[in-house]
């Protein structure tokens, strides 16, 4: 079974600020409900990078791995595969778009 959910949010923060938080692997815990463990290679998100997190649930920590597939800084999007417990793989295409009033629309598809 395939389930497709596309959450989106609008903020008054400028796209550059949102993009800098989104693509800083060590800051991923600021927008995901998980604790940052490591990024290999370290540094901002880039194609081929593997990010490891620990997510809490049911009284324990669960390993989560993100494989960054591609990043387009000019158009502000990231493609990644999030490997969750129990064999669940989530394909994510995250976009950051400037709104007409200078804010930001963030979409996770």
Residue 2 lies in a domain: no
Domain range for 30 is 8-108
Q: What pLDDT does residue 2 have?
A: 67
Residue 80 lies in a domain: yes
Percentage above 90 pLDDT, the chain: 85
How far apart are alpha carbons 97 and 35 in whole angstroms?
26
The CATH number of the domain holding residue 34 is 3.30.530.20
* pLDDT tens figures, 17-50: 999 999 999 999 888 889 999 999 999 999 999 9
Residue 49 lies in a domain: yes
Torsion on CA atoms 25, 57, 107, 71, rounded to nearest 10: 30
State the distance between the two ends of the chain, measured CA to CA, in whole angstroms.
Answer: 17
pTM: 0.89
Residue 39 lies in a domain: yes
């Amino acid at each position: 079974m395939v389930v497709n959910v596309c959450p989106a949010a609008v903020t008054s923060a400028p796209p550059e600020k949102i993009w800098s938080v989104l693509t800083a692997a060590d800051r991923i815990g600021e927008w995901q409900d998980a604790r940052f463990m490591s990024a290999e290679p370290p540094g901002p998100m880039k194609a081929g990078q593997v990010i490891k997190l620990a997510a809490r649930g049911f009284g324990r920590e669960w390993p989560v791995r993100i494989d960054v597939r591609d990043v387009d800084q000019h158009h502000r999007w990231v493609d990644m595969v999030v490997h969750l417990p129990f064999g669940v793989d989530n394909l994510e295409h995250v976009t950051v778009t400037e709104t007409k009033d200078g804010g930001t629309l963030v979409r996770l598809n």
